[in-house]
Amino acid sequence: MQKQLISININTGTYKSFVNEVVEMAEKKSSYTCVANVHMLVEAYTNPTFASIVNNADMITPDGMPLTWGLKLLHGVSQDRVAGMDLLPDVLREAEQKAIPVYFYGGTEAMLAGIEKYIPRHYPALPIAGMYSPPFRELTIDEMDHTAAIINNSGARIVFVILGCPKQEMWMSMMKNRIRATMIGIGGALPVLLGFQKRAPLWMQKYGLEWLFRLAQEPKRLFKRYAVTNSIFLFLLCKEFIRIKIFRQKPRFQLKDLDKN
């Protein structure tokens, strides 16, 4: 089941159900998962095209704690957080146990080198179908077709996409029905898994302060994003609360298929 939170539809359920769904989707012809946070929600609010890309995903997970709070405030739903930093290692573990071939698309050459060292140590039985760091530019149609052919020929069933939001979501949308696998955008989860970056302490994760920990690590890159997007999200959430709970009006976005599984 999904619930609308301002501009995106978010799947609900237990954390374990999300892990199971990713693995089950690996048996489908083509699908993709968006790991949604405040940044993605605000991007979708300001860009209807991007909102359509996100909401056409086969699954949208509530990555950030603010999104779980929003679901509670607007819908009364007590939702587990499904963070990419937790989802990535758990899906890798399930894939290893079920011998599901995985592919890593995106990231830097240094990250891919890190994967080559990390996976054999922590998931020795995991089949790695391949990995590729694409150029930092828009790909041509021919290049995208070539990439799809390489991934399909590799036998990959799960493709981890490391391009960052919104680029990875747009790429997955364009590759749906081209790549015969399930794709999941893991963004900044891979550098944390590999130890390139540290993760916030549990108490900061619990109280929704993981963004502050990341900001302290990369202030120049993240200050504008967090200062702007967090403020916009709080404004939108308050406005939506007043609209729905006080004036009993319909949400601004009329999103379809809110009850699809």
Task: Locate the domains of the chain by residue range.
Answer: 2-246
Q: Is the pLDDT of residue 200 over 80?
A: no
Is pTM, for the whole model, over 0.85? yes
The enclosing H or E element of 55 equals helix 48-55
Q: Which of 240, 216, 226, 217 is nearest to 37 (CA)?
A: 226
Structure tokens at 16: 């374990």
pLDDT score, position 256: 47
pLDDT score, position 211: 76
pLDDT score, position 143: 92
The residues pairing with 34 across neighbouring beta strands, listed in sequence order, are 60
- pLDDT over 90, % of the chain: 71
Q: Specify whether the CB–CB gap between 189 and 87 falls below 8 A.
A: yes
Structure tokens at 75: 């819908």
pLDDT score, position 259: 42
Q: Is the pLDDT of residue 212 over 60?
A: yes
Q: Specify whether the CB–CB gap between 25 and 59 falls below 8 A.
A: yes
pLDDT in tens, 91-140: 999 999 999 999 999 999 999 999 999 999 999 999 999 999 998 888 88
Q: What is the mean pLDDT of residues 22-40?
A: 93
pLDDT score, position 251: 61
pLDDT in tens, 153-194: 999 999 999 999 999 999 999 999 999 999 999 988 998 899
C-alpha 117/C-alpha 242 separation (Å) is 51
CA distances from 12 to 2, 37, 160, 176, 241 (A): 6, 14, 22, 23, 19
Q: Is the pLDDT of residue 261 over 70?
A: no
How much is the mean pLDDT over the chain?
90
The enclosing H or E element of 33 equals strand 31-36
Which amino acid would we find at residue 19?
V
Buried b (16+ CB within 10 A) or exposed e, 111-141: bbebbeebbeeebeebbbbbbebeeeeeeee
The enclosing H or E element of 204 equals helix 202-206
Confidence of residue 249 (pLDDT cuts 50, 70, 90): low
If DSSP codes are grouped into helix, strand and coil, which group holds residue 104? strand
pLDDT score, position 98: 96
C-alpha 45/C-alpha 6 separation (Å) is 8
pLDDT in tens, 72-94: 999 999 999 999 999 999 999 99
pLDDT score, position 127: 97
If DSSP codes are grouped into helix, strand and coil, which group holds residue 123? coil
Q: Which of 191, 165, 126 is nearest to 38 (CA)?
A: 165
